[in-house]
Amino acid sequence: MTTRLSFLKATAFSVALGASAGAFAQGKGLEDPFRDAYYKTMSGKVVAFVPVALSFDLAQGWLKGLKEELEPLGVKIIARDPNWSTNAGAQAVTSLIGEKPDVIVVHNPDVQTYARLLRTAETNGIQVVQINMRSAYSSVAYVGADWVEIGEKAATAVVAACKGKSNKISIVQGALSAAASAYTLKGVENVLAKNPQITVVSSQAADWDAAKAKGITQTVLKQHPDLCGTVGFWDGMDSGTAAAIKEAGLTGKVFLATSGGGEQKGACDQVKSGAYDLNLSYDVPTQAITMAGQIKWLLQNTGKTKGLGGSIYTTLIPITKANASVEGTCWKLGKS
């Protein structure tokens, strides 16, 4: 019986293959046998997005990209805005676990707060994509920056800019509990270990807050007016760092390296103005497209991804005065 079924399946496949070959030979159109299943799989699915806040360029760019890529396929996108509150974010994730969307996209404020919740979500059949900042729990997918690489590239640029100068630098970290900050610091340390001539006169956390970054840098510049460089960990925060340097009359003298999502006003315009000497962009629109592609794959493999996990690291775009004015180097909010 088994042999007969196998024979019938093989015969049916051969007939279909023969029909396809005949259609090709006659120059006729051919139905894509996989197309209908793809659209049926996407239609009606729900993807939930929980950033640290919806009020800044990264989150807005990711949400826009997800909507553009997934909504035309019939996927519903819902967003919850913790508005920088870690507790509100945890409550949002907890609520979503009860609602059971097909995928949760989460931007972790730190490595611990959501870790157990994300594990619970995946245990309950919800696939979790972490964007740009990881938790201690490794979910089915991470899409985002390689923060160690960012730290290494930023520090390398600052070390080069300090050559022949005081070799004094400062480091303005983000939030100490955030993976992005800890991993970036490791990258900086990798470079400093090879450059013993560099003296770090300050390494403090500004908690992603521009006002704190400005205050820290003002104090450092008063104590060390011969500072030659600063490594900042996010351009949204380092607008404050740049402001302190400008107020001290040291723009162009203190090399400021930072990183961010590559939005026009926050990145290219700031580099053109001289506020930042280097901005390492992880290019939010490309991240959003990559993330959406990963989600499409996950939706087609629901129930089959348990135990799987992987990372897709972003290709960085170094923004300097050489390319800050070039069309396409940065992206603009509200425009595709």
Q: Which residue has the higher pLDDT, 263 or 11?
A: 263
pLDDT tens per residue, range 17-33: 454 455 555 678 999 99
Q: What pLDDT is attached to residue 307?
A: 83
Least confident residue range of 237-246, 273-282, 300-309, 315-324: 300-309
pLDDT tens per residue, range 265-276: 999 999 999 999
pLDDT beyond 90 at 314: yes
Ordered domains of the chain (ranges, CATH): 36-144+284-305 (3.40.50.2300), 147-281 (3.40.50.2300)
Closest CA to 80 of 60, 100, 51: 51
Are the C-beta atoms of 124 and 100 separated by less than 8 Å?
yes
pLDDT tens per residue, range 217-250: 999 999 999 999 999 999 999 999 999 999 999 9
Give the number of other CB atoms < 10 A from CB of residue 72: 9
pLDDT beyond 70 at 12: no
* DSSP letter (8 states) at residue 72: G
pLDDT beyond 70 at 5: no
d(CA 165, CA 167): 6
- Longest CA pairwise span in the chain (Å): 88
pLDDT tens per residue, range 92-113: 999 999 999 999 999 999 999 9
Pairing relation of β-strands 278-281 and 317-319? antiparallel
Question: What residues contact residue 239 under an 8 Å CB cut-off, 6+ apart?
Answer: 210, 213, 266, 270, 275
pLDDT beyond 50 at 278: yes
d(CA 273, CA 321): 9
